[in-house]
Structure 1
């Protein structure tokens, strides 16, 4: 086809009427969001590496005094003893934090700047500055 290699390649599901209006290799700009007030933004959250339970899950930590020894930021006990004799699934522990796909729903579209092809969105957009995100019209309305 007439498409040159790009850094990012994504596929999007569209209905038949939209597909007929597009041609192969045609550039799709942000003006498709001019009529839309709310969008869902999907991106990869910032990776924070192997993090402890205080940073990853917001644990309070242990007292600094009263005999605590070298475990101020530890998670504490995780099991319940001989019965059940195992650790339950989804127990909050230290581990990889961030670098996962995150979707923020119902963000407000402020406006579209046509000459720069910029879509201005109010709210928390996942990922680092300059990161790749997927923007689509919101499926659910805010409460």
Structure 2
């Protein structure tokens, strides 16, 4: 299986075999339900759609209710499509089947984590891009410490170029972190420890991909 859906619990640290303290993220991964199976004959490609997390029925659109009823499962919070799963998973990729953490990963695997970064709102250039401010606190510029400075030329080109780093909305974007090692799996609680940090706040949804 190419991946699984989960929820970020928080961060902690563990000691490795050589005595190093390793920062890691605890994720509740799965169980997920197979809600759709796509094949080349009908859809043009092979893929499996997994669903995770409970959702109130009164907040579920009618079309999705029928979609989940076809898989004989309750309404779910998040659906993700994983393409090109390996042939050894053919027997598990059946409509309505439950996919667990142990079905997808083993300790020592490397995974990519996809999440939505924390939204910071509208921020200035110092926080957003790491600018040092005008003058670096010299020459008496008491009120210019966090300002962006000059943003364009004069009569030519008489405009500001697109893509110039300026103040604006920060965070709240889809972020993928590559090559995180799975340090520990707790299958009885559907928990997995991955090295390093994963984008998003606590209790946010995370996609783990092989």
The TM-score range, normalised by the shorter chain, is 0.7 to 0.9
Report the number of matched residues: 137
Equivalent residue for 1:5, pick from 75, 78, 81: 75
Structure 1 residue 21, shift from structure 2 partner: 3.1
More strand by share: 2
Q: Relative contact order: is structure 1 or structure 2 higher (C-alpha 8 Å, sep ≥ 6)?
A: 1
- 1:32-57, CA deviations, whole angstroms, 9 ceiling, x for partnerless residues? 11166211001000000000000000
Cα distance per residue 1:29-86 (max 9 Å; x no partner): 1111116621100100000000000000000013445342533211001102222222
Structure 2 alignment gaps of length 5 or more: 1-69
Which structure dedicates a bigger proportion of its chain to helix? 2
Relative to the length of structure 1, the TM-score reads: 0.86
- Mapping of 1:1-143 within 5 angstroms? 1=70, 2-15=72-85, 17=87, 18-31=89-102, 32-34=104-106, 37-63=109-135, 64=137, 66-68=139-141, 70-137=143-210
State the Cα distance separating 1:121 from its structure 2 match: 0.3
From the superposition, tell whether residues 69 and 51 of structure 1 become closer, same or farther in structure 2 (CA, over 3 Å).
same
Provide the C-alpha distance between the structure 1 equivalents of 2:163 and 2:108, rounded to a whole number of angstroms.
38
**Secondary structure in 2 matching 1:8:** strand
Q: 2:117, 2:171 within 8 Å by CA — same for their partners in 1? A: yes
Distance 1:122 1:35, change over 3 A: closer
Taking structure 2 as the reference length, the TM-score comes to: 0.60
After superposition, what is the alpha-carbon deviation per residue over 1:74-101, rounded to whole angstroms, capped at 9, x for unaligned?
A: 1001102222222112110000000000
* Comparing 24-33 and 8-17, the one that deviates more: 8-17
Structure 1's unaligned 5+ residue stretches are 138-143
C-alpha distance in structure 2 between counterparts of 1:74 and 1:28, whole Å:
51
CA RMSD of aligned residues (A): 1.8
Deviation at 1:9, TM superposition (A): 2.0
